Amino acid sequence: MGVVAADLHPAGSTGQIAVSVQDVGMVFGDVHAVRNASFDLPKGRFLTILGPSGSGKTTLLRMIAGFDRPTSGEIFINGQPVSAVPPHRRAIGMVFQKLALFPHMTAAENVAFPLKMRRHDARTIPEKVERYLDLVRLGGYGGRRINELSGGQQQRVAIARALVFEPDLLLLDEPLAALDRKLREEMQLEFRRIQKELGVTTINVTHDQREALVVSDEIIVMSGGEIQQKARPVDAYRAPSNAFVANFIGVTNFIEGKVVDLASPTVVIEANGLRLAGVAADAALSAGAACAGAVRAEQIRIAPKDGRLEGLDTVVEGQVADCIFEGERVVYEIRVPGLAGVLMRVFDHDPESHLQFGPGDEVRLGWNARDMHVFQK
């Protein structure tokens, strides 16, 4: 497992560590839900833990929240070990997929609830509630009951309630999963705006790749209970540490072959008799090893069969198997006989030539060596 480290002290970060997870593991019977997880999160940063179902991301979040106690390792919040500290004694705000808002209360009463539970001065509560409702753009909605609010407005009430007592840490467990796509994308931007405005350290758990890329300062990608990569979103996308990360984030084509020439960082692989140049993305690569070259769909250029693809390191012939119109782009599925009939996906973002190819059309595909990351199989 290779971990690409992110810049831990960028502009806007204090450099102080808010959360430190050190060799944390969780075992349920014979199942290792989390294995040897370690990372540091500076104060004021937005971290997303990304992974498929069963990857261990929610279990890791529950240990940070205090709902589950690690089988091994330790978690530190603001430098203090917290494995033995119950959830209600941790200064943590939480928003879950099931918002658990009180339907018999108004929006303002929901937001005020954690302040009352913590015995804040009753004279200061209305002003604070109003301030946080304004923060989530619900000024004037405080008197409405929960069933009088839309799904997105309910999300905003839940965010205000989680933040109103000014926690050290905000935890988000797939809070947007139940929303429709348009509202979900709007709320992703809202999460980012609110977090930047307040500077609250935030850990978000999701399986939504776009959400992770949009809202986060850093991303952790998990699989099989292990951290596969920790990096800035741009680095996780452009320089995946292994084939799993390359496949999970974005739409990636894999070309299987073997290494025939290795002059780091350049590598040449042979696939079905064709030689293709790429970049070694795996330190374990060796001559003769079975490998897979990964090329993202948007990095492949497409042209008619008699068209020219100049300045590209690799050009292959293909036939369009299908085309899917997605509004802002067309996704082509193209069969490449020269690569043992592999089906490659290609994005076309040109608004003036949408659907320029149809099923059965002969085309040419091309990409540069720097765009193919080679991993050992």
Q: What is the pLDDT of residue 353?
A: 63
The pLDDT > 90 percentage for the chain reads: 78
Q: Domains along the chain?
A: 17-243 (3.40.50.300), 251-376 (2.40.50.100)
C-alpha distance from residue 350 to each of 164, 302, 312, 323, 366 (Å): 46, 11, 19, 14, 16
CA distance linking residue 57 with residue 69, whole number of Å: 15
CA distance linking residue 236 with residue 3, whole number of Å: 10
Supply the pTM of this predicted model: 0.88
Tokens of 279: 């970049």
C-alpha distance from residue 259 to each of 238, 265, 373, 374 (Å): 22, 13, 12, 9
Q: What is the pLDDT of residue 53?
A: 92
Tokens of 367: 């990409």
Q: Are 95 and 175 in contact (CB under 8 A)?
A: yes
Q: Please state, as a whole number, how many other Cβ atoms lie within 10 Å of the Cβ of residue 119.
A: 7
Q: Judge residue 78's burial from the number of C-beta atoms within 10 Å of its C-beta, 0-12 exposed, 13-18 middle, 19 or more buried.
A: middle
The pLDDT tens digits for 345-357 are 999 876 566 668 9
Residue 337 backbone phi and psi in degrees, to 5: -60, -35
Nearest to 191 by CA among 167, 172, 207: 172
The bridge status of strand 92-96 relative to strand 169-173 is parallel
The beta-strand segments (E) located in 52-198 are: 72-77, 80-81, 92-96, 169-173
Q: What is the pLDDT of residue 183?
A: 86
Q: What is the pLDDT of residue 3?
A: 38
Q: What is the pLDDT of residue 356?
A: 83
From first to last of its 377 residues, the chain has per-residue pLDDT tens of 333 333 333 334 457 999 999 999 999 999 999 999 999 999 999 999 999 999 999 999 999 999 999 999 999 999 999 988 998 888 899 998 787 899 999 999 999 999 998 899 999 999 999 999 999 999 999 999 999 999 889 989 999 999 999 999 999 998 888 788 888 888 899 889 999 999 999 999 999 999 999 999 999 999 999 999 999 999 999 999 999 999 999 999 999 999 999 987 789 999 999 999 999 998 889 999 999 999 999 999 999 998 888 899 999 999 999 999 888 889 999 999 999 999 999 998 765 666 689 999 999 999 999 999 999 98
